Structure 1
């Protein structure tokens, strides 16, 4: 299983914004420089985060992105879902039997992973 580069950049961007306690808007160019990534690529990632309410976007000369007031409660799972979507990692293609043992095991493992990711918040990570 592998998450996309976009998820990696999203997690690091959110962490950076939290570390810096950024309560003002920061430009996508400044955020992209921090990670040595294309501003266009990062802008697409930030658009997804904004649609899910994980960052706030503002336009104009002093526009950019900032964290919402509840940013400390944002979990890694929130960020992963914003970028990757909420579909299951495993689909059973052999048959559609709801009692498929393999499917049950895979979905149980996925649930454990999601529980772990949901327990990891930006606020808790920055307190370490």
Structure 2
């Protein structure tokens, strides 16, 4: 799994939606303006989030994007994988031997990171921001 600029924008877009209007649609122009990124670039990111079922898209003058119905269950890992895909950080290993002690350490570390991202929900971060002074 990689962590690109697109993933960074996706995470920030999701947080913005969660904090401001989880039930209402927000246009791509407002979302792009908030992050100071082009609407074209953000539209491509939002398309991936829509295809993965994380956000909903409504066409038309009053359309835009909003979080899916049960958005409280969306994890950081869900968002990252929607943008980057399911690949591993360590896609290749010099030694493909499953008994390789270095490979075991690397894969163990990656699994711990994935569990952390899987357990961190966007709703928890949104709640922290809403109650911050």
Summarize deviations over 1:18-51 as a string: whole Å, max 9, x none. Answer: 1013312211111000100000000000011111
SS at match of 1:89: coil
Is residue 74 of structure 2 the alignment partner of residue 74 of structure 1?
Answer: yes
Deviation at 1:91, TM superposition (A): 3.1
Structure showing greater relative contact order (alpha-carbon pairs closer than 8 Å, 6 or more residues apart): 2
Deviation at 1:60, TM superposition (A): 1.9
In structure 2, the gaps of 5 or more residues are 129-133
Summarize deviations over 1:45-75 as a string: whole Å, max 9, x none. Answer: 0011111110001112222111112112111
Alignment check: 8 A CA contact 1:91 1:103 kept: no
Q: Which moved more, 1:21-30 or 1:3-12?
A: 21-30
Q: Which moved more, 1:94-103 or 1:30-39?
A: 94-103
Alignment check: 8 A CA contact 2:22 2:67 kept: yes
Alignment check: 8 A CA contact 2:93 2:103 kept: no
Q: Which moved more, 1:41-50 or 1:98-107?
A: 98-107
Report the aligned-residue RMSD.
1.6
Is residue 62 of structure 2 the alignment partner of residue 62 of structure 1?
Answer: yes
Alignment check: 8 A CA contact 1:32 1:42 kept: yes
- Counterpart Cα distance in 2 of 1:64 and 1:91: 36
Alignment check: 8 A CA contact 1:54 1:67 kept: yes
- 1:3 is matched with 3
- 1:115 is matched with 115
- 2:37 is matched with 37
Alignment check: 8 A CA contact 1:92 1:103 kept: no
